[in-house]
Amino acid sequence: MNTRIEPKDRAFYLENGYFARPDFLSPEELEAWRAAVGNSVSARQGNGLPGTDRYDTKNKGEYGRDTFLQLINLWKDNPAIGRLILSEALGRMLCELSGLEGIRLWHDQALIKPPWGNPTAYHRDNPYWSFHDARALSIWVALDAATRDNGCLYYIPGSHRSGDFRNSGIGPRLGDIYGVLPEFAGVEPVAAPLPAGGCVIHNGLTIHGAGANMTPRPRRAMTGQFMPLRAVYNGIQNVLSDEEAASLKVGDPLEDRQRNPLLFQAG
């Protein structure tokens, strides 16, 4: 894993809300990620999140089913994925890039856009999660080359700096979010194509989407969603189980090491 962060990388990320690292994984690491994710995806059989059918493919609706296959918390099924997505080196990289002093996993997810898959509507990530923090961030690792032909990501640079958590759903209207964030409607999106093994990292408030998959092959990505230290529950269930959500009050700390493992803490 090429986890080296230069001051210019951090400056770019803080200014634009995203950062691309085309040479993130070595060819051997890429093979290991592909194998681990492939095994876990087959074993899930469309169950999006263990213990519930809320994220199951069958419950996604027609447009969502053809946008991506979403399988959450593969690290819990497969220690090989845990070694990748929970590595201290990755945690340190994310902290150096964003200026965080420490970082926990919120959840991971494989996102596989099927052949001829629909585009992913523009949206933000953090407003979906069970804590609101303008410093939260995601990594998206390309297991296949991500191109304008098969559904690479597109970013709205600077959109993380709006200072609020307005959002839209990920549905068939790609520009719904501009109804709630009209100030970004005129900003030119930046495509983020990647070779296989490359990654992009984005702030949880950066508006982003992905193109359609016009090819007969899947576009596979493995992603991780990360939280700063001392995040607190905001009342949104998201990937929490019914029992977990029932046991939490708004304002409670989210720092259970079994649920949200610590990757890295400075000092």
Ligand X SMILES: O=C(O)CCC(=O)C(=O)O
Question: Which one, 187 or 265, has the nearer CB to ligand X?
Answer: 187
Write down the least CB distance from residue 12 to Fe ion, Å: 19
Question: Which one, 212 or 248, has the nearer CB to ligand X?
Answer: 212
Provide the mask over 216-235, with x wherever binding to ligand X is found by CB under 6 A and - wherever it is not: -----x-x------------
Question: Which one, 143 or 248, has the nearer CB to ligand X?
Answer: 143
Q: Which residues are near Fe ion by CB under 5 A? A: 125
Examine residue 41 and tell whether it contacts ligand X (CB under 6 A): no
CA gap 174, 123 in Å, rounded: 9
Choose the contact partner of 203 out of ligand X, Fe ion, none; CB within 5 to 8 A by kind: none
Cα distances (angstroms) measured from residue 75 to each of 59, 156, 176, 226, 244: 23, 30, 32, 13, 18
CA gap 66, 103 in Å, rounded: 32
Q: Tell which residue, 128, 190, 127, 130, has the closest CA to residue 158.
A: 190
Examine residue 68 and tell whether it contacts ligand X (CB under 6 A): yes
Write down the least CB distance from residue 70 to ligand X, Å: 9
> Do β-strands 219-228 and 190-192 pair in parallel, antiparallel, or remain unpaired?
unpaired
Examine residue 21 and tell whether it contacts ligand X (CB under 6 A): no
# binding residues, ligand X (CB under 6 A): 12
Write down the least CB distance from residue 219 to ligand X, Å: 8
DSSP 5-68: --HHHHHHHHHHSEEEETT-S-HHHHHHHHHHHHHHHHHHTT-SBTTBSTT-GGGSHHHHHTT-
In sequence order, the β-bridge partners of residue 213 are none
Provide the mask over 133-152, with x wherever binding to ligand X is found by CB under 6 A and - wherever it is not: -----x-x----------x-
Cα distances (angstroms) measured from residue 68 to each of 56, 65, 158, 206, 232: 12, 6, 26, 20, 29
SS3 117: coil
Choose the contact partner of 226 out of ligand X, Fe ion, none; CB within 5 to 8 A by kind: none
Examine residue 111 and tell whether it contacts ligand X (CB under 6 A): yes
Write down the least CB distance from residue 120 to Fe ion, Å: 7
Give φ, ψ of 210 to 5 degrees.
-140, 150
Examine residue 210 and tell whether it contacts ligand X (CB under 6 A): yes
Contacts with ligand X, residue ranges (CB under 6 A): 68, 111, 113, 120, 125, 138, 140, 151, 208, 210, 221, 223
